[in-house]
Structure 1
């Protein structure tokens, strides 16, 4: 698999590239946000390791610009505030690693994200549906009433979790563990933010996502307001 490394510190880029190659990954790299966007669009990497603090376009801006490409992103940064983490996750990042990091942890996080993104590639089913909502599992595309609707990677994973587990009640902690794939150290309100955004994109079918008082959420296909 091909991984794009974006960081303005050459020593960090060289170290990450070395570790990726030792694990059998193909790595490409650049040192600024503008080149990151160009390379992502032209070479379609399987995952992007993206530094936040860069001259020109920062990592948050790059993350926002690449949302429609549906490429998983792991943010790398020396900033470790909850606000920064929430900002990155809300923009669709799949994970967030604070510098300095252990190389073994970085590789483990990469493999976890790739497994999660590609976990349906071996299934016989090519699509799944719930009422007017259909998901193409191979292409990670969502259609509502036959019209394609753009979702961020996290919104997609969240909707898929719900549709595959209709009527099952999930706590916010369950959702964080299932969708983010690791123990999230921070405020679980990020789940509520993603639910709100997903509901807006579902439009009239937002009622399918039910709030379960004092517990969390569930997904059920009906048309009750």
Structure 2
């Protein structure tokens, strides 16, 4: 089930028809209040939020979702008419996993939905894994992230990005590789998505652990273990 929260009837219908035509079950809502009421009855597998909604806006609704233990890992895709970097950062920092700027391609929308849903499929049980590097602690079984003993709350996509970089420690990971592995999307389409996720991830990790993620100009990123 995918929830679509959009006050523009034309866009809401367009998204719903596109998703239904691709075999997804959907429910559409005009306001965030209506959607959050439906969450209490049946939580979706993915939510698509417009940021500019009447009453409670999309950002506030996403924060409420992330504050609920039962929903905090739910993938959220944001639709926004705002193309400024500040607005995109605000959406991602507020808990969204990805964003699209209106007007958007239906084919791109479907690709991003597939990518988000694919990343949330349950994996086969495996032995607990721990990753410790300097101030950073990752529990790959519980998805818990701590810096100097304090828990850091990351979105689904931020966590996947951090783990991928950490598992490839000291190796330069290209932008193309990250976009392909984590977004299934080529680097020539919305490359700022990756840049903004890296920026918000560093901010959440703080000054010490955030510096473990190094930018390799014109290539990509590298997770570097701190000097002993």
> What is the TM-score with the length of structure 1 in the denominator?
0.75
How many Å separate the matches in 2 of 1:73 and 1:174? 22
- Cα offset, 1:7, TM superposition: 0.8
Contact 2:202 2:210 in 1 (8 A): no
**Residue 113 (structure 2) pairs with residue 110 (structure 1):** yes
The equivalent of 1:155 in structure 2 is: 158
* 3-state DSSP of counterpart to 1:11: helix
Instruction: Give unmatched runs, 5+ long, in structure 1.
Output: none
CA gap of 1:146–1:25, structure 2 versus 1, over 3 A, is: farther
How many Å separate the matches in 1 of 2:116 and 2:2? 12
* 3-state DSSP of counterpart to 1:50: strand
How many Å separate the matches in 2 of 1:175 and 1:7? 30
Matched ranges for 1:202-221 at <5 A: 206=209, 209-211=212-214, 217-219=221-223
How many Å separate the matches in 1 of 2:181 and 2:10? 34
- Given the alignment, which residue of 83, 88, 95 partners 1:85? 88
**Residue 168 (structure 2) pairs with residue 165 (structure 1):** yes
Instruction: Give unmatched runs, 5+ long, in structure 2.
Output: none
The equivalent of 1:6 in structure 2 is: 5
> Considering only aligned residues, what root-mean-square deviation do their CA atoms show, in Å?
3.3
How many Å separate the matches in 2 of 1:212 and 1:185? 15
Contact 2:4 2:16 in 1 (8 A): yes
**Residue 21 (structure 2) pairs with residue 48 (structure 1):** no
- Cα offset, 1:113, TM superposition: 1.8
Contact 1:8 1:32 in 2 (8 A): yes
CA gap of 1:88–1:79, structure 2 versus 1, over 3 A, is: same
- Runs of 4+ that moved beyond 6 A: 145-148
* 3-state DSSP of counterpart to 1:66: helix
* 3-state DSSP of counterpart to 1:12: helix
How many Å separate the matches in 1 of 2:44 and 2:127? 22
The equivalent of 1:19 in structure 2 is: 18
Greater Cα shift, 87-96 or 143-152: 143-152
Matched ranges for 1:23-38 at <5 A: 23-38=22-37
Greater Cα shift, 123-132 or 4-13: 123-132
- Given the alignment, which residue of 178, 197, 208 partners 2:203? 197
After superposition, what is the alpha-carbon deviation per residue over 1:153-203, rounded to whole angstroms, capped at 9, x for unaligned? 233112221332233233567555554553334486524522323423xx9
CA gap of 1:207–1:101, structure 2 versus 1, over 3 A, is: closer
- Cα offset, 1:5, TM superposition: 0.5
How many Å separate the matches in 2 of 1:187 and 1:146? 29
